[in-house]
Amino acid sequence: MSVFELLKNKIQASHKNYHIVFPEGIDKRVIVAASRLAQEKIIEPILLGNPQEINQRAQADEIDLSAVTVIDIAAYTHLDEMITAFTAARGKTFTPQEIAHQLQDPNYFGTMFVKMGKADGMVSGAAHSTADTVRPALQLIHAADGMHRVSGSFIMERGTEKYVFADCAINIEPDSSTLAEIAYQSVQTARLIDIDPKVAFLSFSTKGSAKGDMIDKVQAANDLFHQQHPEVVADGELQFDAAYIPEVAATKAPDSALKGQANIFVFPELQSGNLAYKITQRLGKFTAIGPILQGLAAPVNDLSRGASGQDIYNMAILTAAQALLRDEQK
C-alpha cells in the first residue's frame, strides 16, 4: 500500500472532518485537487480568493465546486476577530491597519485560519515561494509544545520501501540539540506512515573512525537523543552503509542497536540532506514526498511551484493525516 493510500484510509477511518485551507484558490491545479478531495469526502477544502473568478474558472473546465467552501479575503466579515488573534500571536505592536494590510496576503490569512482553529491545516506553494509559505507559519503558529524549531523531512518511497530523510529543507547548520530535535520530529513523521522508527545519525565517520568537530556534533546529538527518548532505537555517528546494510554494520559497527536496519536518516547539515534526497530520488528512482514541515503546532505544508493537481491532492491528504496524528496524541 502506498503512503497516500495508507494516509487516506486512516483519515476516512477516523470519521473526522478535517478542513484544509488553500491560499491559492484561483489556481486551476488547486481547484482540481479541492474538487476531488471534496467529492471523495476525504477532507473539507477551503479555497481563498475571489469567488466569482474561482467559480468562473471551475465552470470553464467543468469542475464541480459545490462541496467546496470559497472565502473572499477582501470581503471577510470577521476581520476584527482575526486582527486581535494576529496581534496575540505575533507578540508585537502593529496598528490594526497594518495587520489588515498584512492579512490581504492569502498565506497570512490562511495561516491565521489555522491558528484560530477555523482550519486544521494549510497547503500552499503552487504559486508562492517556500519562504512565502513558511514565514507566516513560523511567525503565527509557532513550534509545537516542547519544540524549539521546525524542520523539513522527505518520505522516500519505492515500492514497499519507505524511509524518512531529514533535515532536507530548513536548518542549514544544526547543532547537536537541533539534530536531536529533528530526529524526534522525524520519528513522528515515520509513525504517521506506520514505520517502526530506527534512527541513524549520519556522518562521514563510523564510531570514531575519524575525528573532528563535525563528528563530535553528531555523537553529542545521538547521546542527547538517547537521554530524551530512550524508547526509540537510535545510533550514531554512522556512515550510511553502516546504518543501512546489515553486513557492513556487522563489520563497522557490530555493537550498534540498529544492526544496519535504519529507516530514519538524520543528516549532519542541510547540504548533505538536500543532496541525498535528490540523488535517491533521481538515481534510485524513489518518490520524494515533501518537504514535510515538522515541529509546528498545527500542520502547514509547502508545494513545489511545479506541483500538479495530483501533488496538491496528495499533500492535502498528508496534511490532514498530520492533524489526525496530532489529535490522537493529545
- What is the mean pLDDT of the segment spanning 166-175? 94
CATH number for 198: 3.40.50.10750
- What is the mean pLDDT of the segment spanning 93-104? 89
The whole-number pLDDT of residue 234 equals 97
The whole-number pLDDT of residue 61 equals 87
Asked whether residue 330 carries a pLDDT value surpassing 80, the answer given is no
Asked whether residue 118 carries a pLDDT value surpassing 80, the answer given is yes
Asked whether residue 116 carries a pLDDT value surpassing 80, the answer given is yes
Strand bridging mode 121-124 / 300-302 = parallel
Asked whether residue 191 carries a pLDDT value surpassing 90, the answer given is yes
Report how far residue 156's alpha carbon sits from residue 87's, in angstroms, rounded to the nearest whole number: 39
Whether residue 196 lies inside any domain: the answer is: yes
211: domain range? 151-282
Burial of 1 (0-12, 13-18, 19+ CB in 10 A): exposed
Span 283-296, pLDDT tens digits: 999 999 988 999 99
Report how far residue 158's alpha carbon sits from residue 217's, in angstroms, rounded to the nearest whole number: 31
Peptide bond into 197 cis (omega under 30): no
Report how far residue 67's alpha carbon sits from residue 17's, in angstroms, rounded to the nearest whole number: 13
Report how far residue 48's alpha carbon sits from residue 126's, in angstroms, rounded to the nearest whole number: 13
Residues 98 and 165 in one domain: no
- Are 102 and 86 in contact by the 8 Å Cβ rule? The answer is yes
Kindly state the helix (H) or strand (E) to which residue 91 belongs, with its residue range.
none
CATH number for 88: 3.40.50.10950
Asked whether residue 85 carries a pLDDT value surpassing 80, the answer given is yes
Listing DSSP states for 260-286 in one string gives T---EEE-SSHHHHHHHHHHHHHTS--
Q: CB neighbours (10 Å) of residue 30?
A: 28
Residue 144: DSSP 8-state:
P
In total, how many domains does the chain have?
2
Residues 134 and 7 in one domain: yes
Closest to 164 measured CA to CA, from 134, 198, 130: 198
Whether residue 73 lies inside any domain: the answer is: yes
Helices (H), the chain: 3-14, 28-39, 51-60, 79-90, 96-102, 106-115, 130-136, 176-192, 213-228, 240-244, 246-252, 270-282, 309-329
Whether residue 292 lies inside any domain: the answer is: no
- What is the mean pLDDT of the segment spanning 229-233? 97
Kindly state the helix (H) or strand (E) to which residue 292 belongs, with its residue range.
strand 287-294
Residues 61 and 163 in one domain: no
CB under 8 Å to 111, separation ≥6 — which residues? Answer: 122, 136, 137, 140, 141, 300
